[in-house]
Amino acid sequence: MSDSGKFDSSEVERGLTGRPVRELTEPEPLSEHGPAHIIAMCNQKGGVGKTTSTINMGACIAELGRKVLLVDLDPQGALSAGLGVPHNDVDVTIYDLLVDRKADVHDAVHSTAVPNLDLVPANIDLSAAEIQLVNEVGREQALARALRPVMKDYDFIILDCQPSLGLLTVNALACAQDVIIPMECEYFALRGLALLTDTVEKVSDRINFDLEIMGILVTMFDRRTSHAREVMSRVVEVFGDRVFDTVITRTVRFPETSVAGEPITTWAPKSQGADQYRSLALEVLERTAR
């Protein structure tokens, strides 16, 4: 944030990827909303920043006047908890929407403290969904079917995947236009990404021809270590322009926000972490032309 309190993308330290820094422009206001562009936040490794990025990128896109629905696809329910939704005692969760054709998505949508930001929660019930879906016709399309009635209401639907490449994640990939892959900036992070990109390719070959990898998001970057800088240059070597210019640095502010149950934009609006996710939101809008 600048002194005027307005977000100024030029103040965010970029160029951490080693590439030249580009200017990002604020998008025009929208006069109407929808249809939704669906983004899956995906990495079968746990603890890489999927949920943190879903919450904070979602909140920052909402700050830009876009209507955003976040969908929790992890039985751990960290996304729901991270936004203060009491997911263990709600009536309708994503589980019901996936397995019960009569369940209505409108009954599962919760508003959050952030204007323009809604959530469909999950809890441990969801861990049974894969087994229940496996023998269904169109088992990969259950999520697309469940979300269809609200597609017209949102500009973005962001899916927080669980750390696996199982049927729930395939459901996410089957209905998304784009995948964002958050990855922790550490030595073994690149391992496993081949399997993930392979899965994305298979789904785009067989089920969802529109699916693309929008970008690789480097998270938990520690600028003080040469190790992190080495991993970064390797990531850029492998993925080139697909790596977002915005890099999320490691800070204790993020674990704090999970406890607080709110995004960093309200918990610490002027922090570097908040501005990094604002910068990411601008890149996402640029890459989706919205």
**Closer of 7 and 277 to ligand ADP (Cβ):** 277
Residue 279 C-alpha from the chain's centroid: 14
- Part in contact with ligand ADP (CB under 6 A); list of ranges 6-14, 17-25, 87-95, 248-256: 248-256
By CB under 6 A, is residue 66 in contact with ligand ADP?
Answer: no
By CB under 5 A, is residue 50 in contact with Mg ion?
Answer: yes
By CB under 6 A, is residue 232 in contact with ligand ADP?
Answer: no
Q: What are phi and psi of 280, to 5 degrees?
A: -60, -40
By CB under 6 A, is residue 219 in contact with ligand ADP?
Answer: yes
> What secondary structure does DSSP assign to 58-98, as a single string?
HHHHHHTT--EEEEEE-TT-HHHHHTT--GGG-S--HHHHH
| DSSP for residue 43 | -
Structure tokens of 22?
Answer: 């580009």
Q: Which does residue 52 touch among Mg ion, ligand ADP, none (CB within 5 to 8 A, set by kind)?
A: ligand ADP
Q: Which residues contact 191 (CB under 8 A, 6 or more apart)?
A: none
Contacting residue, 17, 43, 51, 171, with Mg ion by CB under 5 A? 51
Contacting residue, 17, 51, 169, 265, with ligand ADP by CB under 6 A? 51
What's the number of CA atoms in the CB half-sphere (13 Å) around residue 133? 24
- Part in contact with Mg ion (CB under 5 A); list of ranges 42-50, 141-149, 174-182, 185-193: 42-50
By CB under 5 A, is residue 116 in contact with Mg ion?
Answer: no
By CB under 6 A, is residue 267 in contact with ligand ADP?
Answer: no
* Residues 52-81 contacting Mg ion, CB under 5 A: 78
Contacting residue, 254, 281, 282, 285, with ligand ADP by CB under 6 A? 254
By CB under 6 A, is residue 246 in contact with ligand ADP?
Answer: no
> Which own/partner pairs from 75-78 qualify as long-range (CB within 8 Å, at least 24 positions apart)?
75/122, 75/123, 75/124, 75/125, 75/126, 75/127, 75/162, 76/124, 76/162, 77/121, 77/122, 77/123, 77/124, 78/51, 78/160, 78/258
Instruction: Give how many residues touch ligand ADP by CB under 6 A.
Output: 17
Site for ligand ADP, rule CB under 6 A: 46-52, 78, 163, 219-220, 248, 250-251, 254-255, 258
